[in-house]
Amino acid sequence: MKNYQNLKFFSMPQEQKDVVQAGVEAWYHFCYQNRNKDGRFNKYAQYANDGKSLDQKQELFTKGLQEEALRYAGIPSDTKFSEGMIQSHPAVQWATFAIVAQTLDIIVPETVLDSFYEFAEVKNVNWGDQLLFHVESPDMFAVSTKANGIRGSQRQRLFGKDVTLTPVRRTVEIYEELYRVLAGKTNWGNWVARVAQAIETDITSRIYDSIYNSFPSLSASYKETAAFTQTAFNNLVSRVAAANNNKNTVAFGTKVALSKVLPENQYMQFALGGEYNKNGHLGNFQGTQLFEMEQKLKPNTDDFTLASDFILVVSSGSDKIVKIGFEGNTEVLQSKPEDNADRSVGYSVAQHYDVQLITSAQYGIYKLT
């Protein structure tokens, strides 16, 4: 069993853990199979190579979910009631959504950590708890010179600051045909994957918007606006590294943005042609690792979410530049068929979270023209 970094999982009874684990591992399989372009999800290979297909994993989760819902509702597994009667039972519906919500409680924060671990810090708190992040001062102690026999000098202390995030309720509104719900045909594994993707896309958009929009407020030393040159890029990387105590410094950008990071010497370009052609960009440029930001589409459009004209430069191990806070639990509410003219069933999935750009570290942005 995976060691989920989520205390909620460990507090569940074993039967519930088994179902949630099946849902989470179906999601891992989905990520490895459909989103592993840059190797980010290689660690999930074991879940995709265990002899079961993704469809089988999702069916396993759906079956376990239905059985656990019946157990919570006190309905015998060998009951002779029709599927429609069972699925319309309020206790069955409540238990189904409670387990789905707990599965999402693990999937979404862990996916955010997997996608943004280099520059985002994630916290989870219970309802009503304060989402507090302490940010250390970026200043340094100054060294002074004084003559022998002089006692004392100006004492120094560096003050950090506490920043509180304020989570906001954000929802995903979806619907399902009534007959599919009553017939037990809803593929809850696929349903969870789609909801998780929707929430992750929203968080991704908020993270990159906050970073992109911070460009005007950066000091001139930490931003560059020009066509790509290796000298300007290396200067920016070196300055960010020096400002963060020479920690390992890396760069992020979309495939289009990173495709412009090339040596100026054509001979060197030819030498790197195989790697460039395979990935669409280099993996390392003169000692700086390049990581591709996974492009996403704005919901129900063909427009890209992420701008392709900037490269973010950050130092690994320094204070994360983005803070993400989740409050409470995922909520899943179902509407009644009679509430809709077509007698479809609506689902409102809500999570409370906030995303802010808060850091004591220095970072740089290269805006490509």
- By the 10 Å C-beta count (0-12 exposed, 13-18 middle, 19+ buried), 71 is classed as middle
What separation, in Å, do the N-terminal and C-terminal C-alpha atoms of the chain show?
48
139 vs 270 pLDDT, higher one: 270
> Using 50, 70 and 90 to split pLDDT, how confident is the model at 152?
low
**Position 27 pLDDT exceeds 70:** yes
Mean pLDDT score, 156-181: 72
Confidence band for 146, pLDDT divided at 50, 70 and 90: low
- Residue 319 belongs to a domain: yes
138 Cβ contact list (under 8 Å, min separation 6)? 243, 360, 361, 362
Cβ-contact 143, 153 below 8 angstroms: no
Cα–Cα dist 134/219, whole Å:
23
Is 228 within the bounds of a domain? yes
Domain range enclosing 315: 216-323+361-368
- Predicted TM-score of the model (pTM): 0.75
Q: Is 72 a member of any domain?
A: no
Total domains in the chain come to: 1
- Which of 127-141, 142-156, 266-280 is predicted least confidently? 142-156
Nearest 10 degrees: Cα torsion 289, 294, 295, 300: -170
Instruction: Assign 280 a pLDDT band (cuts: 50, 70, 90).
Output: confident
81-120 confidence digits (pLDDT tens): 777 777 778 888 888 888 888 888 888 887 777 777 778 8
Does residue 261 belong to any structural domain of this protein? yes
pLDDT tens-place string over residues 318-365? 888 888 989 988 888 877 766 766 667 777 889 999 998 888 888 999
Q: What is the pLDDT of residue 178?
A: 55
> How many H helices and E strands in the chain?
12, 12
What is d(CA 275, CA 232) in angstroms, rounded to the nearest whole number?
23
Which CATH number does the domain housing residue 282 bear?
3.30.1930
Q: Per the domain annotation, does 266 fall within a domain? A: yes
Q: Which two tokens stand for residue 55?
A: 């469809």
The answer to whether residue 16 is domain-embedded is no
Would residue 313 count as lying in a domain? yes
How large is the average pLDDT for residues 151-179? 70
User: What integer is the mean pLDDT of 267-278?
Assistant: 80
Does residue 58 sit within a domain?
no
Q: Read off the pLDDT band of 288 (50, 70, 90).
A: very high
Return d(Cα 216, Cα 223) in angstroms, integer.
9
